[in-house]
Amino acid sequence: MGQKKIKLQKVPKVQAIQEVKELNIDLGCGKNKQVGFIGVDRIAFDGVDIVADLAKAKWPWEDNSVDKAYCSHFVEHLDAVERVHFVNELYRVLKPKAAAQIIVPHWASCRAYGDLTHKWPPVSEFWFYYLSKDWRAGNAPHNDMYVCDFEVTWGYGLTPELMGRNEEYKAYAMKNYKEAVTDIIATFVKK
C-alpha cells in the first residue's frame, strides 16, 4: 500500500488582542443612564449600576481612571460644600485631558426654581471660573476648598421656539428674555 502524504498547513500565530474598554460614568443618572456609561446614583433606580453618595463620600474609582463623565441635572441638587466635593472628586478620578459634560438648569429659567429639591444658589456660569487653579490664585486666593483644575467651556440649551431663529435674534433673546435659555451645558476638561 502506498503512503498518503499529508500536507501540513502553517497556522498563523494567534496574538492575544486585549480589548480596551473606556471607563465612562454617568453621575446622578437616575432612570436615564447614557448608553455606554456606568450609571451612578444614590437611589437604586432601574439602570443604575453603582449606588453611591456622590455628594459626600469618596467615589469608588481610582485616581486618573475615568475616561469620560456625564452629569445631567444633578449638580443643582447639591449645596455649596457638596458641589466643591463633587468637582474635587471628579477631578481626582478623571484621566488627564479627560472631559466631563455637565448640564444644569439655567439660573434665569423656571427650571432652576421649580423643583424644590434644588439647592441654593442656582448654578451660574461664574462658578466655572473657580474651577481653574490659575484663576483662583489670581482672583480668589482665600478660597482653598478646591483642589480641582479644570478648563471649562459652556453653551446653552434654548427653548424650542428659538431654535429656528437667526443667531442675532437668539443672542438678543438669551440676553433679554428670562425663559429663553433652559440649560447651561458645560464641558470640564482636566488640566
pLDDT in tens, 28-72: 999 999 999 999 999 999 999 999 999 999 999 999 999 999 999
What one-character DSSP code corresponds to residue 125?
A: G
Confidence (pLDDT) at 16 = 42
Q: How confident is the model at residue 21 (pLDDT cuts 50, 70, 90)?
A: confident
Distant-in-sequence, close-in-space partners of 190: CB < 8 Å, separation ≥ 6 = 91, 94, 95, 96, 97, 98, 99, 149, 150
User: Which stretch of DSSP H or E encloses residue 25?
Assistant: strand 24-27
Confidence (pLDDT) at 19 = 54
Rounded percentage of the chain residues whose pLDDT exceeds 90: 88
Q: Select from 108, 138, 142, 135 the least CA-distant residue to 124.
A: 108
Whole-model pTM: value is: 0.87
Supply the mean pLDDT for the chain.
Answer: 92
Helix (H, G, I), strand (E, B) or coil at 75: helix
| Residues constituting the chain | 191
